[in-house]
Amino acid sequence: MSAVSSRSLAGLLGPFFFLFILFWLVPLIGGLRLSLHSNTLVGEGVFVGLEHYSELMEDARYFKALRNTSFYAFFTLALILPVAVVFAHALQSLGGRLRSLLQFAMLIPGLTPPAVLALLFLLVFHGRQGLLNQWFVMPLGGQPINWLKDPDVILMALIMQCAWRWVGFITFFIHSGMQAIPGMYYEALEVETHKAWHRFRWVTLPCLRHVILFCLMYLVVDAFALFSGAYVLLGGSGGTADAGLMLVSYTYQRALAFGEFGSAAAMSVSVAPCLLGILGCVVWISRRWAFKSGGHKA
């Protein structure tokens, strides 16, 4: 492309990056600064160095929140992705109008404000009368479970809520991806094999690599930013014995309920490298995997 005048470049990029600096970069740096100062909201705190971080290392609740969040992220992924792949194949086997209808029905939870969803879920999980107990647990001969009070199952309830919410969207993405695979790839494979599993393993899965990577990233980030679901469902606390304590809700609690801004900022800052590390691993694994299976196919 020809030489670009810096004026029009600034005009095109300027507005976005102005807001980027003002509302993303400055808060990030501000968070770093805040985490090194004592706990005051207005006015300058005293510089305390890494004190908040060493405090965090001894804070059992922080580790509990970190563990809960990682658990939550991992199990939502493990639950949603395989189910979504099955659903996408099921959708593919249906005809036009019915397919659109079912697809739309699955998307409804993802379109709904999470505050509303949490409200609905309160009644799904609610005591003995809740849907989950009435429809699934008791007919299968189990004792009714108190989903929101029993510390052993709170996290499970949150995970189920998340799976129910996002599975439709992930199915939607994967199904769109499947439709974009040219039919001739399958015809080429038919020369060698007729097994359905092979079709999936050697054509569908490699072609869906980018979509699946996108879904993975989306779900991991969403899990780490989880707030509304846990906040409304558990009334702003971590639930019984902190079994449902999540990172963002703990940060929120420390900052806005206890006024400990420095500690809360240290918490936010400490999550960033964790999240970046996890996402880096995801990308790295998918690259390696792509190289392997792509090489084999070609």
Partner 1 sequence: MKSHNGPSHRSFERWYWGLWVLLPMAWLFVYPFLWMFLSMFKGNQEIFQPTTLLPEQWDLVHLRRLLAGEWFPFWRVLGLSLFMAVGQALGAVVLTSMAGFAFAKLRFRGRSLLLVACLFTIVLPRQLLVVPLFEWVHRIGLHGSVWGVMFPGMVSGLGVLFFTQVFRQVPDAYLETACLEGANEWGAYRLLLPMLGSCLLSYGLIHFILAWNEHLIPLVVLGGAEQQTLPLALASLYGSSLRFPYAALMAGSFVAMIPPMFFFLFSYRRFRDALSNVILS
What residues from 94 to 113 belong to the interface with partner 1 (CB under 8 A)? 94-96, 98, 100, 102, 104-109, 111-113
| Residue 235 neighbours by CB distance under 10 Å | 11
Contact letters (x/-) for partner 1, 170-189, by CB under 8 A? --xx--xxxxxxxx--x---
Our separate counts of H helices and E strands in the chain read 15, 0
* CA dist., res. 157 & res. 163, Å (int): 10
Q: Among the candidate windows 50-58, 150-158, 227-235, 237-245, which touches partner 1 by CB under 8 A?
A: 227-235
Asked if residue 60 binds partner 1 (CB under 8 A), the reply is no
Asked if residue 193 binds partner 1 (CB under 8 A), the reply is no
Residue with Cβ nearer partner 1 (49 or 183): 183
The H or E element containing residue 86 is helix 60-92
Binding partner 1 by CB under 8 A: which of 56, 80, 211, 246? 211
Asked if residue 143 binds partner 1 (CB under 8 A), the reply is no
Residue with Cβ nearer partner 1 (11 or 151): 11
* CA dist., res. 199 & res. 207, Å (int): 11
* CA dist., res. 74 & res. 194, Å (int): 34
Segment 28-57, which members bind partner 1 (CB under 8 A)?
Answer: 28, 30-31, 34, 41-42
CA 117 → CA 56, 110, 167, 239, distances in Å?
32, 9, 14, 18
Segment 235-294, which members bind partner 1 (CB under 8 A)?
Answer: 235, 248, 251-252, 255-256, 261, 264-265, 268, 271-272, 275-276, 279
Q: Among the candidate windows 55-63, 66-74, 165-173, 289-297, which touches partner 1 by CB under 8 A?
A: 165-173
Q: How is residue 48 annotated by DSSP?
A: -
* CA dist., res. 215 & res. 169, Å (int): 9
Backbone φ, ψ for residue 40 (5° rounding): -130, 150
Q: Among the candidate windows 61-69, 72-80, 123-131, 151-159, which touches partner 1 by CB under 8 A?
A: 123-131
Size of the site for partner 1 (CB under 8 A): 105
Contact 144, 133 (CB under 8 A): yes
Encoding tokens for residue 205?
């899965």
Asked if residue 140 binds partner 1 (CB under 8 A), the reply is no
Contact 166, 114 (CB under 8 A): no
Asked if residue 134 binds partner 1 (CB under 8 A), the reply is yes
Minimum CB distance to partner 1, residue 176 (Å): 4
